[in-house]
Structure 1
């Protein structure tokens, strides 16, 4: 593990004078807002992936069953949008 540590010397000084591995420097929770930003970025990513998977599933079902109108795409999209909103509301803090 010593390979990842920054070893300060007399000649060179850095802003990274810490006693933790280098790859944890940018992921540290020093500021109180960093955890909030990560939580909301995760929620947005979760919504994006959930809705996109609903659209892809609906398109696949429409192609598989050779439908003339995209009812599976519409239905799956709406279902997964409501699921994404439900998951977002459940993940909000209860403060």
Structure 2
């Protein structure tokens, strides 16, 4: 992971750990805009994944699922098998927690 990506992750985690999840989400949305503008597809998928994590932690599971599915689609399109596996794992956890075991 590049220094810039580590810094981005560190900044949001500070806000999230302080309980200011909405500020962390705002920072990730800014990051999402930048990754889209510069064409960083891998970064976009990762940012969507982190946004999903934050929304899941807020209890907004349906929003998290939508974000995970967007990330999954990108990982599938670019052939990132590890990213795809991670997203499927996280989706499985969310659905299981919703009681949708099948």
Fold conserved (TM > 0.5)?
no
Q: Which has the higher contact order (CA 8 A, sep 6+)?
A: 1
Q: Which has the higher helix share?
A: 2
Normalised to the residue count of structure 1, the TM-score between the two structures is 0.30
Q: Which has the larger radius of gyration?
A: 1
Q: TM-score, normalised to structure 2's length?
A: 0.28
